[in-house]
Structure 1
Amino acid sequence: MADNRRRIRFKSIAILEAVIILLLIIALIFVGLIRGRGEAVPANANSDKPQVRRRAVIEKEEAFYQMDGRKILMQDNTYGEIFVPVYSDVPASTIDTEKITMRNGYAYYMENGEAVSTTGVDVSEFQGDIDWTQVRQAGIDFAFIRIGYRTYGDGIVTYDTAFQRNIEGAQAAGIKVGAYFYSQATNTDEAVEEADAVIDALAPYDITYPVVYDWEIVHDAARTDEVSVEALADCCVAFCERVKDSGYTPMIYQNKATSMNKLDLPRIKDYDFWLAEYDDKPSYYYDFRIWQYSNTGSIPGIEGQVDLNICFRPY
């Protein structure tokens, strides 16, 4: 009997010791967790931006554009369909392409059954002598006149031989006028030189529409073939700021492909944009004010073909 009591006492002591050890282990683990949380430094602790870790959601859609701002799909001569990421800080177009209608060869933007857009042309010395009265009677509201250009090879700033005649003729006929310069600038000094040539030429005139920087890729051993993305953006800004300082509204003209592949859009987003895309409807993702929809237009008073444009928000 005594041996049984002794065994029970020893067993009770062993159980009590095991419970005490278990409680001590739990207490140590709890203290370690509390201290670890207090001393831990989160990744990017100095950043003001919230840090979120998540698994990407893979989605596939057949739309040409993802209008929610996730991706743009374009066609490339070499790669076929290509993926272009969207700039979240560059305004997207708000134009409802379903409201664009073609009538008698002109594009119109319709709201509540009425056209709210204006129709225009852009011309140079290549159009020859223009009968601006006939052009106005044909329904043309505005015209962009080429002031000049820089030559492909030597890089010489040259005035368009018809710019004075065209500006004065268009204004006399009651057509609102803007101006553009065909640039081949390779640096900001040249872009400023071009802007100054435009400003000097426009001094005698009161124009209504913007002054446009028209820089194009030639692919014909031109002096601009090796211009970098950064240098092109610098030229755009240099030209636009120069004309803006002189009281004009600056604008950049470019076709869809060059805009998407060559322009640094976040750097030029504050300037009005003139899009060249020859199709029934524009598919350009970002904001644009004027759309050049044809380079084969036919207008009474102009011999041969001429570019046709629609201005969605008239100046």
Structure 2
Amino acid sequence: MADNKRKLRFKSIALLEAVIILFLAIALIWVGLIRGRNEAVPANAGSQDPQVRRRAVIEKEETFYQLDGKKILMNDGTYGEIFVPVYEDVPASTIDLNELTMRNGYAYYKENGQVVSTTGIDVSEFQNEIDWEQVKQADIDFAFIRVGYRTYGDGIVTYDSAFQRNIEGALDAGIKVGVYFYSQATNANEAIEEADAVIDALAPYDITYPVVYDWELVGHDNARTDGVSVEALADCCISFCERIKDSGYTPMIYQNTGTAMHKLDLPRIKDYDFWLAEYADKPSYYYDFKIWQYSNTGRIPGIEGDVDLNICFRPYDGKAKAKDKDDT
């Protein structure tokens, strides 16, 4: 009988200890949540002087789970055919692939029987010296010029050695111009630094086509961006594009189909124009895109070696940035 009472007392003590531990755990979690809220700093914290370029307000909303059942079939090197959910809040492409044709190595797009697309290239210092007059005579309407890049090892922002020569040569030849920056940013601050470098470089020029954020995964090597999360990449895209938009230019994001579908948080960047890289006879990308890079082995008179070929489905006819009255 005494043993039973002793066992009952031990059980009561153990139960009381468990209850106390549970209450302490709940209290610690609650204190942590309150402290985290008080110490959290928004992306645009710290007001800046109106003369200084502002930071983007980074808004985040969970949009991964889609419940309508729609899906996109894709091919994966490991799993073969896979499917990913369709984002209902991300605009789908409206391009009629039946109206997309190839002729003499160039892609063309028609509406109501009329060609409405323009043909373009993108170049950097790797194309060496370019004869832009010959490029213009080859029916090239626009060119994206690389402004610069961030090194994928040391993370140093560097201007393309041929930027000035290429942008002035293209503009003088009557070719419409956009620019891009090859990013290896790992956070929003670095993306802003890259955008500012682009804005400073563009100050002397009037461009027509967008300013493009080109963030790419580096394969077959160790790069500083290898561990960048989906959330951090979206923060970089938004920070760069908003900085560019604040300066009066049209921002755009460049990406290939695989990285776009698996790495980009598409609902968060849906408001920016998209430039698709997919080397195929027809694009398979489900969502909206304004420009399609369909080849990296194009040959154009005036350019030594291979060059990327692009089609813009609806041309950017207006100025990407209006000149100030003091500049006129």
Q: Distance in 2 between matches of 1:88 and 1:117?
A: 27
Q: Distance in 2 between matches of 1:109 and 1:204?
A: 33
Distance apart, 1:309 and its partner CA? 0.1
Distance apart, 1:69 and its partner CA? 8.3
- SS for the counterpart of 1:195 is helix
What corresponds to 2:92 in structure 1? Answer: 92
Contact 1:151-1:157 at 8 Å conserved across structures: yes
Distance apart, 1:112 and its partner CA? 2.8
What corresponds to 2:126 in structure 1? Answer: 126
Write out per-residue CA displacement over residues 84-114 of structure 1, whole angstroms, 9 at most, x where no aligned residue.
Answer: 0000000000000110000000000012332
What corresponds to 1:194 in structure 2? Answer: 194
What corresponds to 2:258 in structure 1? Answer: 257
Between 249-258 and 112-121, report the one with greater CA deviation. 112-121
Q: Distance in 1 between matches of 2:295 and 2:251?
A: 23
What corresponds to 2:238 in structure 1? Answer: 237
The 1:100/1:200 distance shift into structure 2, 3 A limit, reads same
Q: Distance in 2 between matches of 1:273 and 1:120?
A: 15
What corresponds to 2:54 in structure 1? Answer: none
What corresponds to 1:82 in structure 2? Answer: 82
Give the aligned residue type for 1:192: I
What corresponds to 1:214 in structure 2? Answer: 214
What corresponds to 2:248 in structure 1? Answer: 247
What corresponds to 2:291 in structure 1? Answer: 290
Deviation >6 Å, runs of 4+: none
Q: Distance in 2 between matches of 1:84 and 1:284?
A: 12
What corresponds to 2:17 in structure 1? Answer: none
What corresponds to 2:303 in structure 1? Answer: 302
What corresponds to 2:181 in structure 1? Answer: 181
Write out per-residue CA displacement over residues 50-100 of structure 1, whole angstroms, 9 at most, x where no aligned residue.
Answer: xxxxxx9xxxxxxxxxxx981100000110011100000000000001100
* Count of residues in Structure 1 that have an aligned counterpart in Structure 2: 249
Contact 1:69-1:88 at 8 Å conserved across structures: no
Counterpart mapping for 1:269-280 below 5 A: 269-280=270-281
- Structure 2 residue 109 is matched with structure 1 residue 114: no
- SS for the counterpart of 1:257 is helix
Q: Distance in 2 between matches of 1:114 and 1:306?
A: 27
What corresponds to 1:135 in structure 2? Answer: 135
- SS for the counterpart of 2:244 is helix
Write out per-residue CA displacement over residues 244-287 of structure 1, whole angstroms, 9 at most, x where no aligned residue.
Answer: 00000000000000000000000000000000000000010000
- SS for the counterpart of 2:109 is strand
Q: Could you list the runs of 5+ residues in structure 2 that have no partner in the other structure?
A: 1-66, 317-328
- Aligned identity (percent) is 84
Counterpart mapping for 1:4-19 below 5 A: none
TM norm structure 1: 0.78
The 1:69/1:179 distance shift into structure 2, 3 A limit, reads farther
Q: Distance in 1 between matches of 2:314 and 2:113?
A: 17
- SS for the counterpart of 1:181 is strand
Contact 1:147-1:179 at 8 Å conserved across structures: yes
- SS for the counterpart of 1:217 is coil
Q: Distance in 1 between matches of 2:299 and 2:239?
A: 35
- SS for the counterpart of 2:140 is coil
Counterpart mapping for 1:33-112 below 5 A: 70-112=70-112
- SS for the counterpart of 2:178 is strand
Q: Larger Rg: 1 or 2? A: 1
Q: Distance in 1 between matches of 2:69 and 2:170?
A: 41
Q: Distance in 2 between matches of 1:114 and 1:266?
A: 33
Distance apart, 1:178 and its partner CA? 0.2
Contact 1:145-1:178 at 8 Å conserved across structures: yes
- SS for the counterpart of 1:231 is helix
